């Protein structure tokens, strides 16, 4: 994914003062927000930086926080350029920035999205100027007070410092600085040697609120007269309501209304409307709504197409993969010819299960709509999409719609969708009251936008010197773009033409096959890299083993000389093989790859290039009876310059454990045309006892621009685990989830 | 001096509230007069608006709603109000000292930056409080007994935070 950078926005940075003497560096949208209304109300903050006379420095963070640490990282970037005193910084979430441009929304804050690890790169591009501009104004205010040249002054920890040692705190300068006219061009950002905050560890800005229970997630918000809505949704894709008896439900004390949610419109894109037909109970509290929902007597008509189990889809995929691809993704050289003459040939098939997001905060939304305005509070990864859903359903002008961005309890792609927003808006409109929509855990499993199912067929051949000369990778998958984009674009989310080993093997073919499914699919952490890296990195291991090569040496030789290959997808324009080799070497060194034969344990490696980041995993494990013990895990990562190493390590460790948990046991199954899983008892997330006590993270120091961190640690973790399982057991698992298959094969 | 006017005539006779369930939450007394089957989770979240206790599931499987009942770990989603009469409930909001100082577990969570999305952490801290009450010097196997789920993978930092808090609390107790 490539996101257009709003390069022109720097020009619109705006500086002004307030009645209370604060300096505000923000955006023109502020011009029509009267200061009396803003006051000290930090929640309604509409600017990136606000310095109060008492020195309090409020930094507005624009991107949605879903556990990736973006608000802390973003505030650190601005605070660095500002030379703020971090102890005086308050990080406040911004709402979605939108202005009315002739009835159309004009996005005023630039990047506001949690997807594809793009927030930190975007912030690095355009938020440094915010801090630098504010700093320059403060310096010039001090210069004018002291009657000295601005370039004779320096700044540190929230103070301007003169050559003779005099100091002025930012708070004392805020009012004067607000009257300084900013230069036409923003000042140059710092050079790396001047950094005092970027590159140093800092804890999550919300930590104190989280550990005390004060942190408010969307599900914790309420409006005075809001009714709780619980919706019983049709479990059959495309199905609709056949019969409803709500008499018993209406008898429950606290229940006010029972309403229906229509079936989705097949002409509208998936994710922009409700996922399923439903019956909603509106009540004064959640318990009343849940009890009433359980007493609804409902019969559903099934949709035109039944949802199919992975098992059935795998059979269809087998037939498809024997034929021509829907999309020939890449074709280099002549694989058939290379294979014909090759002394070594390999083939394998991998299967990746349909899985659910299982984000811990279930979908929910608080919506207030009247003829004049609308308010939305929900866990959102794509606030603009939520805004557009609101605007479409209410017809309100853009400046009458407010979208708040509270911290979200995970997301992993689920909150890129706006189906739950659409539900809440429809109910609020029809009920004439604010609606607090809450999905139950069972709802979240039954009506997810699941990660696509995929079958991977790989072939390879090598010459007499055991050098790979041919490679094919064919994928049949239930593309997540189906139902959203024209069929000819479906492959784009499923296979990347420049993913390795493309560019490393002379005769190489990538092909993608469209597999139809009635289950809704959506974006999932690291997108298809999660599935594709598993197949690729496990197969590389198989080939290395078949060629009697060391898995590390084989990979390093395959990557070859350090060079930059063209990479057209998200994370490009280049893929540096040297950087990938380096993280692979670091991971191998840290796990003790050279000494792996002395332990009696299984060691596995894998590496992958994801969204501009280079990550390798190394795993050491053993089977003790039928129990898997993971002794050591290393995650080596080159993510460019790291803004907050403590946050990046949290993201990499988290991604590693998430990948293990997902790869080992998670899968969605169907019975009687509907999803079976209803909770964590039949969709087991890994517990503390099942996970390694630690993951050793090796961060490569880098001067390259930051890449973000959330997705990168995910794709290579599962194949490293599977490769270690093979080394430790001689059982090669060709499936995710790994565990049931391993138990079958052992 | 004008005489105090007599009370207006009324048929309403004040009555003590009959029934209801008396429960102590974070040291304050409450009387629940609604459905006795209501889970503590929804009483805390919807009635008292104590939202630190999180909704994550309905079958006690995730632990996001962990609280202490008479000092022992409970899952608020699986505790009916009728079973809490006369009990003392402590939620994450009541863990800190009355002086406003953070509990050693809360301090340790901040020190180890055991956060990620943060949704499960109040429940994790309550589960850890239960563990340390039973086992002031926990080993890895004791910590492994905590079954609260973290979707984001903060387990290693949670483990370190528990060990750190246990150490602080042991030295404070001596």
Predicted confidence (pLDDT) at residue A494 exceeds the cutoff of 50 = yes
Task: Tell me what the mean pLDDT of segment A109-130 comes to.
Answer: 91
Predicted confidence (pLDDT) at residue A31 exceeds the cutoff of 70 = no
Q: Does one domain contain both B88 and B117? A: no
Q: Does the beta carbon of B164 lie under 8 angstroms from any beta carbon of chain A?
A: no
What are the boundaries of each domain within chain A?
Answer: 7-212, 218-304+365-437, 310-355+450-745
Note whether residue B45 is domain-resident: yes
Predicted confidence (pLDDT) at residue B75 exceeds the cutoff of 90 = yes
**ipTM, two decimals:** 0.95
Q: Does one domain contain both B162 and B111? A: yes
Residue linked to tokens 């499914």: A517
Q: Does one domain contain both B48 and B84? A: yes
Least confident among A465-469, A501-505, A599-603, B145-149 = A599-603
d(CA B119, CA A131): 31
Structure tokens at B13: 């006779």
Check if the beta carbon of residue B127 is closer than 8 Å to that of residue B72: no
Q: Does one domain contain both B72 and B113? A: no
Check if the beta carbon of residue B128 is closer than 8 Å to that of residue A211: no
The verdict on a CB contact (< 8 Å) between B58 and A679 is yes
For the domain that residue B80 is a member of, what is the CATH number?
3.10.20.30
Note whether residue B76 is domain-resident: yes
User: Which residue in chain B is spatially nearest to A651 when comparing CA positions?
Assistant: B116
How many beta-carbon contacts under 8 Å exist across A and B?
Answer: 189
Predicted confidence (pLDDT) at residue A26 exceeds the cutoff of 80 = no
* CATH of region A7-212, choose from 1.10.150.20, 3.20.20.140, 1.20.58.190, 3.30.365.10: 3.30.365.10
Q: Does one domain contain both B57 and B118? A: no
* Domain membership of residue B116 as a residue range: 104-173
Burial class (CB in 10 A: 0-12, 13-18, 19+), A103: exposed
What's residue A231's pLDDT?
A: 98
What's residue A33's pLDDT?
A: 38
Nearest-CA distance A653 → chain B (Å): 7
d(CA A509, CA A503): 11
What's residue B11's pLDDT?
A: 75
Predicted confidence (pLDDT) at residue A59 exceeds the cutoff of 90 = yes
Which CATH architecture is the domain A310-355+450-745 placed in? 2-Layer Sandwich (3.30)
What's residue B50's pLDDT?
A: 97
In CATH, what class is A218-304+365-437? alpha beta
- Between A400 and A184, the more confident residue is A400
Q: Does the beta carbon of B125 lie under 8 angstroms from any beta carbon of chain A?
A: yes
- pLDDT-derived band at A17 (thresholds 50, 70, 90) equals low
Task: Tell me what the mean pLDDT of segment A54-60 comes to.
Answer: 91
Check if the beta carbon of residue A539 is closer than 8 Å to that of residue A458: yes
Q: How many domains does chain B have?
A: 2
What's residue A39's pLDDT?
A: 35
Note whether residue B14 is domain-resident: no
Note whether residue B132 is domain-resident: yes
Which of A217, A650, A685 comes nearest B116 by C-beta?
A: A650
The one-character DSSP state at A280 is: E
Least confident among A117-121, A181-185, A205-209 = A181-185
For the domain that residue B150 is a member of, what is the CATH number?
1.10.150.120
Note whether residue B108 is domain-resident: yes
**pLDDT tens digit sequence for B81-139:** 999 999 999 999 999 987 879 999 999 999 999 999 999 999 999 999 999 999 999 99
**pLDDT tens digit sequence for A689-724:** 999 999 999 999 999 999 999 999 999 999 999 999
Q: Does one domain contain both B35 and B82? A: yes
Q: Does one domain contain both B78 and B112? A: no
pTM of the model: 0.94
Q: Does one domain contain both B90 and B28? A: yes
Task: Tell me what the mean pLDDT of segment A400-423 comes to.
Answer: 98
Q: What are phi and psi of A253, to 5 degrees?
A: -65, 130
Contacts A207 to B, Cβ<8 Å? 109-110, 113, 115, 118
Contacting B residues, span 31-70, partner chain A, CB-CB under 8 Å: 34-35, 38-39, 42-43, 45-47, 49-59, 61-62, 64
User: What is the maximal distance between C-alpha atoms in chain A?
Assistant: 83
What's the mean per-residue pLDDT of chain A?
Answer: 93
The verdict on a CB contact (< 8 Å) between A657 and B39 is no
Q: Does the beta carbon of B138 lie under 8 angstroms from any beta carbon of chain A?
A: no
The one-character DSSP state at B17 is: P
Note whether residue B31 is domain-resident: yes
What's residue B16's pLDDT?
A: 65
Note whether residue B99 is domain-resident: no
Q: Does one domain contain both B35 and B85? A: yes
- pLDDT-derived band at B3 (thresholds 50, 70, 90) equals low
Distances in Å between the Cα of A627 and the Cα atoms of A328, A464, A690, A739, B153 are: 42, 40, 9, 10, 20
Task: Tell me what the mean pLDDT of segment A177-187 comes to.
Answer: 81
Note whether residue B7 is domain-resident: no
Residue linked to tokens 């499993």: A445
- pLDDT-derived band at A13 (thresholds 50, 70, 90) equals low
Boundary of a domain, candidates B47, B72, B94 = B94
Note whether A7-212 and A310-355+450-745 share their fold: yes
- Between A455 and A626, the more confident residue is A455
């Amino acid at each position: 994914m490539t996101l257009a950078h709003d390069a022109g926005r720097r020009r619109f940075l705006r500086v002004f003062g307030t009645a209370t003497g604060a300096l505000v560096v923000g955006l023109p949208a502020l011009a029509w927000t009267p200061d009396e209304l803003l006051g000290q109300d930090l929640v309604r903050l509409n600017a990136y930086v606000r310095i109060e006379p008492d020195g309090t420095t409020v930094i507005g963070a624009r991107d949605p926080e879903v556990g990736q640490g973006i608000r802390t990282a973003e505030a650190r970037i601005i605070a660095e350029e500002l030379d703020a005193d971090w102890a005086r910084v308050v990080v406040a979430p911004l709402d979605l920035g939108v202005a009315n441009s002739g009835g159309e929304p004009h996005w005023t804050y630039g990047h506001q999205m949690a997807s594809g690890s793009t927030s930190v790169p975007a912030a690095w591009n355009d938020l440094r100027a915010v801090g630098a501009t504010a700093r320059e104004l403060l310096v010039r205010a001090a210069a004018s007070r002291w009657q000295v040249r601005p370039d004779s002054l320096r700044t540190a920890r929230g103070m301007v410092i003169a050559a003779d040692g005099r100091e002025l705190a930012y708070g004392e300068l805020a009012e004067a600085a607000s009257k300084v006219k900013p230069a036409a061009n923003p000042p140059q950002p710092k050079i790396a040697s001047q950094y005092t905050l970027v590159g140093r560890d800092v804890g999550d800005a919300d930590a104190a609120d989280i550990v005390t229970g004060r942190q408010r997630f969307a599900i914790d918000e309420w409006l005075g007269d809001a009714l709780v809505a619980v919706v019983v949704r049709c479990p059959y894709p495309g199905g609709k309501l056949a019969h409803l008896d709500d008499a018993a439900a209406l008898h429950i004390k606290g229940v006010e209304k029972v309403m229906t949610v229509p079936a989705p419109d097949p002409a509208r894109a998936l994710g922009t409307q409700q996922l399923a037909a439903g019956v909603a109970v509106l009540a004064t509290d959640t318990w009343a709504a849940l009890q009433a929902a359980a007493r609804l007597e409902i019969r559903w008509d099934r949709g035109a197409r039944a949802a199919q189990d992975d098992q059935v889809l795998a059979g269809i995929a087998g037939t498809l993969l024997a034929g021509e691809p829907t999309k020939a993704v890449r074709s280099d050289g002549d694989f058939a010819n290379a294979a014909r003459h090759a002394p070594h040939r390999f083939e394998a098939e991998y299967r990746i299960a349909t899985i659910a997001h299982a984000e811990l905060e279930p979908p929910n939304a608080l919506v207030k709509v009247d003829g004049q305005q609308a308010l939305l509070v929900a866990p959102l990864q794509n606030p603009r999409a939520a805004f557009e859903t609101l605007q479409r359903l209410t017809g309100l002008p853009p400046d009458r719609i407010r979208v708040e961005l509270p911290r979200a309890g995970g997301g992993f792609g689920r909150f890129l969708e706006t189906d739950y927003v659409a539900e809440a808006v429809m109910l609020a409109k029809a009920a004439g009251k604010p609606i607090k929509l809450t999905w139950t855990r069972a709802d979240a499993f039954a009506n997810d936008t699941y990660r696509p199912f995929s079958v991977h067929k790989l072939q390879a051949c090598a010459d007499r010197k055991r050098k790979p000369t041919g490679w094919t990778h064919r994928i049949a998958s239930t593309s997540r773009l189906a139902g959203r984009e024209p069929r000819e674009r479906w492959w784009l989310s499923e296979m990347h033409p420049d993913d390795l080993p493309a560019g490393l093997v002379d005769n190489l073919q990538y092909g993608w096959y469209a597999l139809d499914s009635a289950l809704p699919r959506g974006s999932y952490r690291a997108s298809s890299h999660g599935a594709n890296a598993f197949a690729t990195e496990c197969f590389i291991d198989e080939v290395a083993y078949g060629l009697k090569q060391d898995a590390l040496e084989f990979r390093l030789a395959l990557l070859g000389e350090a060079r930059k290959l063209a990479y057209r997808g998200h994370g490009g324009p280049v893929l540096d093989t040297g950087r990938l080799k380096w993280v692979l070497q670091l991971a191998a060194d840290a796990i003790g790859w050279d000494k792996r034969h002395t332990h009696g344990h299984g060691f596995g490696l894998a590496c992958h290039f994801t969204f501009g980041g280079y990550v390798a995993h190394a795993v050491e494990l053993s089977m003790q009876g039928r129990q898997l013990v993971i002794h050591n895990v290393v995650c080596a990562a080159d993510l460019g310059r790291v803004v907050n190493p403590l946050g990046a390590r949290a993201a990499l460790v988290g991604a590693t454990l998430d990948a293990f948990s997902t790869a080992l046991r998670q899968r969605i199954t169907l019975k009687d045309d509907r999803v079976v899983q209803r909770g964590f008892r039949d969709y087991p997330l890994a517990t503390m006892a099942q996970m390694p006590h630690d993951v050793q993270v090796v961060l490569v120091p880098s001067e390259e621009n930051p890449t973000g961190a959330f997705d990168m640690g995910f794709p290579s973790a599962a194949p490293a685990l599977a490769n270690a399982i093979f080394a430790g057991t001689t059982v090669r698992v060709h499936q995710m989830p790994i565990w049931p298959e391993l138990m079958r094969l052992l | 001096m004008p005489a105090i006017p007599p009370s207006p005539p009324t048929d309403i006779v004040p009555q003590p509230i009959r029934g209801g369930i008396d429960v102590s939450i974070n040291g304050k007394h409450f009387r629940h007069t609604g459905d006795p089957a209501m889970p503590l989770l929804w009483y805390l979240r919807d009635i008292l608006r104590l939202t630190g206790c999180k909704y994550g599931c309905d079958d006690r499987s995730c632990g996001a709603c962990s609280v202490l009942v008479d000092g022992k770990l409970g899952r608020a989603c699986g505790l009916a109000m009728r079973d809490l009469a006369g009990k003392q409930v402590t939620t994450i909001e009541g863990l800190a000292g009355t002086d406003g100082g953070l509990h050693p577990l809360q301090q340790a969570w901040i020190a180890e930056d055991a956060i990620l999305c943060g949704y499960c952490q109040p429940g994790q801290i309550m589960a850890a409080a239960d563990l340390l009450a039973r086992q002031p010097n926990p080993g890895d196997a004791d910590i492994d007994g905590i079954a609260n789920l973290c979707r984001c993978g903060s387990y290693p930092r949670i483990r370190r935070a528990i060990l750190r808090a246990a150490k602080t609390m042991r030295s404070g107790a001596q």
